[in-house]
């Protein structure tokens, strides 16, 4: 599992997770528009979150040009939350 600080370590990623949890499954453009952030920044953040296992894509191995939908893997987010709380002495 990815280090929670690395995966969740900036507000854009945290905001993306929150948005996708509330509105998912969603496309990258929907996220960028809703958060008022440029597509390149959102694409980079999504890549980190997918690699960390926080977000799941449909299709699971998208090809260039395909529409990709993002959803949150709640189990991974919950585990990261526990690990983060443990690291900062909250649990």
What are the boundaries of each domain within the chain? 4-87
Q: What is the pLDDT of residue 44?
A: 94
First-residue to last-residue Cα distance in the chain: 19
Distance CA 19, CA 5 (A): 19
- Reported confidence tier of residue 3, pLDDT bands at 50, 70, 90: low
Q: Report residue 77 CA to chain centroid gap.
A: 9
Per-residue model confidence as pLDDT tens digits over 8-42: 678 899 899 999 999 989 999 999 999 999 999 99
pLDDT at residue 6 in the model: 63
Q: Return the pLDDT at 5.
A: 62
pTM of the model: 0.82
CATH architecture of 4-87: Orthogonal Bundle (1.10)
- Confidence class of residue 67 from pLDDT cuts 50, 70 and 90? very high
- Rounded distance, CA 37 to CA 83, Å? 29
3-state helix, strand, coil in the chain (%, to 5): 60, 10, 30
């Amino acid at each position: 599992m990815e280090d929670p600080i690395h995966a969740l370590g900036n507000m854009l990623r945290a905001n993306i997770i929150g948005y996708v949890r509330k509105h998912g499954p969603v496309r990258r453009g929907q996220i960028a528009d809703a958060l008022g952030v440029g597509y390149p920044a959102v694409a980079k953040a999504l890549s980190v979150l997918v690699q960390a296992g926080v977000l799941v894509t449909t299709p699971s191995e998208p090809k260039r040009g395909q529409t990709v939908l993002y959803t949150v893997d709640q189990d991974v987010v919950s585990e990261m939350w526990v690990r983060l709380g443990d690291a900062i002495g909250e649990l």
